[in-house]
Amino acid sequence: MPGFELFGEQERAHVNDVLQSGVLMRYGFDGARSHWKARELENALAQRMGAKYAHLVSSGTAALTIAMASAGVGAGDEVIMPTFTFVATFEAILALGAVPVMVDVDDTLTLDPKAVEKAISKHTKVIMPVHMCGSMADLDALAALCRKHQLLLIEDACQAIGASYKGKALGSYGDLGCFSFDYVKTITCGEGGALITDNEAYYTHADHYADHGHDHKGSDRGAESHPFLGYNYRISELHAAVGLAQIARLDDFLKIQKSNYTILRKRLNQVPGITFRKVPEGGVENYSFLSFFLPTAVLAKKAQAALADAGIDGCFYWYDNNWHYHRQWEHLKDLKSLGFLPNQVRDNLPNYYKSDFSQSDHWVGRTISCLIKLGWKKEEVKQRAETMAQVLGALV
């Protein structure tokens, strides 16, 4: 991770196809085009993920928004999400006028099913696990809650493409699953995202909603009807071209990540006091991050600084991070918006200044996540592992 580390001839060939035709838009211009890169990538993604349908969009944030909209999520509906995620999770929820309901994470660094059950109300519509840093939530437990309370399970697998749970690709387990193909993801389009589902109605809704409500029937785009309101979340053929090359390389990327991850983990496993995030039974990570716990939050913060001083880059201390942890989300807590937000949001957003997220703090405060790069040489990884073990060993 990320896929841009290994850009090569495959990506250039697909992009050149698009540039030679001059047709950059995914819809229309049939007479001038010689390619349908977005369609090809959708087919490849659906096949790789074991889903009936896939739809490409402009970003992972767009995918989350469209996934919820396609399933009827709207103003006043509550969506349960974790305290540890990327800000796009609550941005997508708010974009629909829905209410983000944050709950604690556990030692998986994802939604704690017990905390989720306590947060379910008569307004809850969705449980949204976010498979952070390449590993997954306890999907069996969350799916059981969805069945019990008749809720939607929408997976945010934006950071975990290629991981699986009990033999199913992440994203394919719930009612809908979402991916990001931005510049720093395991496979990239530069900018882009996708949703997958086995539900034909959700797919059809997503297809229309992401393109101004166009029904995409017939061969004359100007004559297409609009069954309902939609917006512009389209991906371009140029972006899809890059992704089409990258998805063909996904298994190779995962193999490299696993090899590098394993070398680091084996060495750090010898350091007393270091423990690792829990991967639910039956889960297989995509190995894009190695996440581990220090004995205390104080030591974790010191360890991140010490690793950086030793030349070990790409090690994140999420507890103080602006984008990924609830402590820095004043713009959400205060609903700082350029426009007036729906009353359903303003009246029903929990007061997160008074919320007790001490369980999340217990786990995230002790966590360091190290990015696993594709471009490392084997000897470089071994030296990195040794340096990390010495630095951490000196602290704990």
Residue after which a domain boundary falls, among 199, 222, 249: 249
- Helices and strands per DSSP (H, E), number in the chain: 14, 14
Whichever domain contains 10, its CATH number is 3.40.640.10
Domain match, 164 and 276 both = no
CA 83 to CA 325: how far, in whole Å?
6
Same domain, residue pair 162 and 227: yes
Structural domain count of the chain: 2
Residue 139 shares a structural domain with residue 279: no
Residue 367, strand partner residues: 293
Which residue from 267, 246, 247, 249 is spatially nearest to 312, judged by alpha carbons? 267
Model pLDDT for residues 306-344, shown as the tens digit of each residue: 999 999 999 999 999 999 999 999 999 999 999 999 999
Of the three residues 249, 279, 301, the one that is the final residue of a domain is 249
| Boundary residue ending a domain (226, 249, 272) | 249
Residues 289 and 163 in one domain: no
245 and 257 fall within a common domain = no
What letter does residue 84 receive in the DSSP assignment?
A: B
CA distances from 352 to 22, 89, 100, 328, 383 (A): 50, 16, 11, 11, 43
Nearest to 199, CA basis, from 72, 97, 60, 48: 72
Q: Are residues 237 and 275 in the same domain?
A: no
Instruction: Kindly state whether residues 225 and 271 are assigned to the same domain.
Output: no
133 with 153, same domain: the answer is yes
- Cβ contact 92:330 at 8 Å: no
What region, left, alpha or beta, does residue 334 occupy, with left being phi > 0 and alpha being psi -120 to 50 degrees? alpha
Residue 122 pLDDT: 98
Quote the pLDDT of residue 243.
98
Q: Are residues 386 and 262 in the same domain?
A: yes
Does residue 157 sit in the same domain as residue 288? no
33 and 124 both lie in a single domain? yes
Say what the pLDDT of residue 133 is.
Answer: 98
Find the domain containing 279 and state its range: 251-395
Q: What is the mean pLDDT of residues 97-113?
A: 98
| Whether the predicted pLDDT of 277 surpasses 90 | yes
The CATH number of the domain holding residue 350 is 3.90.1150.10
pTM over 0.75: yes
Rounded-to-integer distance, Cα 63 and Cα 56, Å? 8
pLDDT at position 372 over 90:
yes
Domain identity same for 330 and 222: no
Catalytic residues: 185
Which secondary structure element, helix H or strand E, spans residue 256, and what is its range?
A: helix 250-268
Euclidean distance between CA atoms 192 and 179, whole angstroms: 9
In the predicted structure, residue 1 carries a pLDDT above the cut 90? no
